[in-house]
Amino acid sequence: MVATFDVVWDFGGTANTPGTVAQTLTNLRFNNEDTNDQDTASPITITPSTTIYSFWKHVYLKCTAGPSVQINNVKVYTDGTLGWTGCTVKVGDDVCARNSTPSYAGYDPGLASVLTTHDTIATTTSLFTYTSGSARSVTISESGSIINATNETTDYVVLQLEVTDTASPGTAATETITFSYDEI
């Protein structure tokens, strides 16, 4: 059987305990709150001579139909071009644990402060430096570092939008983030 996955996210909780767990993500909006509101009610304000940060987004893959054997080698990447002037999408470089047992050790409440203040993130990289030819690895905390059953997950990919005073006001165009994996 071919595995299927949902892209999901956790939000709205306290350290190591998200308030809402495993909500399927259809559209992620970087904004000024740690909720699932995907509207324009809490925009990021462009401020002169200042970099503003969105709240952190804890995103991961959740297996909805198990593979015949297993999946591993999970990657995330973009097309390499962010079309938002004055903005950078940052991804945490460090492992933020999340698995199906459940363990949310990598969950830190979403904040609008620089991503390196996250409990488990020391460094970040622009997500748009990762392309299909040079994708970012996504770890798996499940036993054996594989996913081989329904409801198992990858670890968190923690994202944040940085907005400088050169950003264009208004709603930005849609961008795509792609996950890939090997299945046997």
Residue 23, token pair as written in the block: 């909500």
- Residue pair 60/154 in contact (Cβ under 8 Å)? The answer is yes
| 147: amino acid identity, one letter | I
* Confidence at residue 154, expressed as pLDDT on a 0 to 100 scale: 96
The pLDDT confidence band at residue 93, using thresholds 50, 70 and 90, is: very high
Q: Distance between CA 129 and CA 91 in Å, rounded?
A: 10
* Confidence at residue 18, expressed as pLDDT on a 0 to 100 scale: 84
The pLDDT confidence band at residue 104, using thresholds 50, 70 and 90, is: confident
Helix (H) or strand (E) holding 22: strand 20-24
Residue 57, token pair as written in the block: 């987004």
* Confidence at residue 99, expressed as pLDDT on a 0 to 100 scale: 82
- Residue pair 118/108 in contact (Cβ under 8 Å)? The answer is yes
What's the pTM value of the predicted model, to 2 decimals? 0.93
